Amino acid sequence: MLQVYLNLLDTQEDKEKFEQLYALYKDKMYKVAYQILHNRHDAEDAVHDSVIAIIDNLEKIKKINCHETWSYIVTIVKSRAFNIYQRKGKRSEREAREQDYRNYPCEQQESPEDAYLYKDVTTILQELILELPYPKRQILYLHYYMDMTFVEIAKIVELSEENVRQIAARSRQKLEKQLRERGITDGNEQNQ
């Protein structure tokens, strides 16, 4: 199967990069999909669909073996697996999403004081993001952590660009409200 995927790539550099990704993450991708789908054939379909999405967005992956790349791949696999669940109607979307992995990269700061304050706010913000249901959590993660455009995210989560924009805006508003309620922001922040 690897050779079929490699034939979809143009440059030798992309082929080598993808081959490393595939070797490192193929089994892990299957485990994530199987944990959601509980069916070998469906999990394989989810992995296949995910691999195609990864090939289409290969330029987004800068490092092969890092937390951000794994989080990005998990987001794609989960999205494809949840779509298969919806099509097959095996169990409620909410039940499937409750098994969601929670992978978000940690940011680093320069000074210890800033790092402490930032970590506190970051920790709270990450906790609030993790409480969001799919696809809100994935859309915010891809946009803010992976620096992806709404067009790119729409392809990954298989929603329209406008829908992705609306979900992101509503999610940001909800998070800002929750942060204000905790006294973390004053409500004068600009939307990104």
pLDDT score recorded for residue 186: 55
Average pLDDT over residues 149-173: 90
pLDDT band at 121 (very low <50, low <70, confident <90, very high): low
pLDDT score recorded for residue 158: 85
pLDDT score recorded for residue 115: 43
Residue 184 above 80 pLDDT? Answer: no
- Span 33-54, pLDDT tens digits: 988 888 899 999 999 999 999 9
| Continuous H helices in the chain | 2-6, 12-37, 40-56, 67-88, 93-97, 112-131, 136-140, 150-157, 161-181
- The fraction of the chain above a pLDDT of 70, given in percent, is 78
- Span 45-80, pLDDT tens digits: 999 999 999 999 899 899 998 888 888 898 899 888
- The fraction of the chain above a pLDDT of 90, given in percent, is 28
Most confident of 13-22, 31-40, 102-111, 123-132: 13-22
pLDDT score recorded for residue 185: 64
Question: Rounded to whole angstroms, how far apart are CA atoms 175 and 59?
Answer: 30
pLDDT score recorded for residue 122: 66
Average pLDDT over residues 109-125: 52
pLDDT score recorded for residue 120: 61
Residue 99 above 80 pLDDT? Answer: no
Is residue 75 within 8 A of residue 152, CB to CB? The reply is no
Give the Å distances, CA to CA, from 77 to 18, 104, 151, 175: 16, 15, 18, 25
